[in-house]
């Protein structure tokens, strides 16, 4: 094993990684201490299927991808941040048994295709880059692709699970993916970032005429829920039933499972 490589063990899964910065070092050490998103791995164990692929929107440097590839048939890992995407690929290269089960896609899933601005929050590579500006106006031009484009390009057939963690971009993307989600009914593991959304709206209001925000956080969250109202069940990360009011009350960050399966 080369310098700085680490071996991660999690619930019987094992893979190698090589941290490139403080954020990577932090997450891998937290995983070794069983202190990083333990509920996420329980959700993956519950809903991923060994004979069906899953779609990871916001793959970061690979903690969910490297784990999920050992639970699912295949992983379609989408990551627009150029720093994170490079590290994701490098981590995959350390795991030749896992690498064939992962398709890495350097793009942002978006409502429209073309080129989009990916804004940094703290720094690129920190896992907090977003299509919505929050604390910084510095951006990177990235390919934007609709879910329909990616499905066709990568033959994403029979996906039964979608993880979406895109730092407030979900308020735009979920409505854009409504037709796909309703038709195919994959379980959706959704991270909501109301604090990042508030930061974006405040920033937009400060730059706009009259100082009025171009949207209401509660209304935008309600719009997300309207576009997911066809799912039979909503659960929190502990597997407890969650209501729409529970979601609307989340102050900063929340994760929920939308599914047609009983937990």
The domains found in the chain, sorted by start residue, are: 6-259 (3.40.50.150)
How confident is the model over 182-211, as pLDDT tens digits? 999 999 999 999 998 888 888 765 565 343
Of the listed ranges 6-20, 34-48, 135-149, the least confidently predicted one is 135-149
pLDDT at 123: 77
Overall average pLDDT of the 73-97 stretch: 97
Q: Beta strand pairing status for 187-192 and 254-259?
A: antiparallel
50 three-class SS: coil
Overall average pLDDT of the 222-250 stretch: 97
Q: Where are the alpha helices (DSSP H) in the chain?
A: 22-32, 38-47, 63-68, 82-93, 147-154, 170-176, 178-184, 194-207, 217-226, 244-248
Overall average pLDDT of the 92-99 stretch: 98
pLDDT at 211: 38
Do residues 94 and 119 touch, judged by C-beta distance below 8 A? no
Q: Beta strand pairing status for 187-192 and 161-164?
A: parallel
Cα separation, 212 vs 2, in Å, equals 54
For the record, the structure tokens of 161 come out as 């699970």
Do residues 85 and 47 touch, judged by C-beta distance below 8 A? no
How confident is the model over 125-145, as pLDDT tens digits? 777 888 888 777 889 999 999
pLDDT at 1: 60
Q: What is the mean pLDDT of the chain?
A: 92
């Amino acid at each position: 094993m080369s310098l700085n490589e680490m071996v991660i063990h999690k619930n019987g899964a094992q893979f190698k990684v090589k941290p490139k910065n403080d954020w990577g070092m932090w997450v891998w050490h937290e995983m070794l201490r069983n202190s990083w998103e333990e509920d996420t791995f329980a959700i993956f164990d519950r809903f991923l299927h060994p004979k069906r692929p899953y779609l990871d929107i916001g793959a970061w440097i690979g903690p969910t991808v490297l784990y999920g590839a050992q639970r699912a048939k295949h992983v379609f890992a989408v990551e627009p941040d150029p720093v994170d995407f490079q590290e994701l690929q490098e981590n995959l290269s350390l795991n030749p048994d896992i690498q064939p089960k992962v398709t890495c896609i350097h793009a942002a899933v978006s409502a429209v295709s073309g080129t989009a601005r990916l804004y940094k929050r703290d720094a690129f590579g920190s896992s907090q880059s977003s299509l919505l500006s929050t604390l910084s106006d510095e951006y990177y031009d990235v390919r934007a692709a609709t879910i329909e484009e990616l499905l066709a390009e990568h033959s994403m057939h029979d996906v039964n699970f979608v993880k979406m963690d895109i730092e407030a971009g979900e308020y735009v993307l979920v409505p854009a993916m409504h037709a796909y989600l309703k038709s195919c009914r994959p379980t959706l593991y959704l991270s909501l970032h109301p604090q990042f959304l508030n930061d974006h709206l405040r920033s937009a209001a400060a730059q706009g005429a009259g100082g009025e925000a171009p949207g209401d956080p509660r209304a935008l969250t309600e719009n997300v829920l309207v576009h997911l109202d066809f799912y039979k069940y909503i659960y929190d990360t502990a597997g407890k039933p969650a209501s729409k009011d529970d979601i609307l009350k989340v102050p900063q960050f929340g994760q929920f499972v939308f599914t047609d399966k009983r937990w």
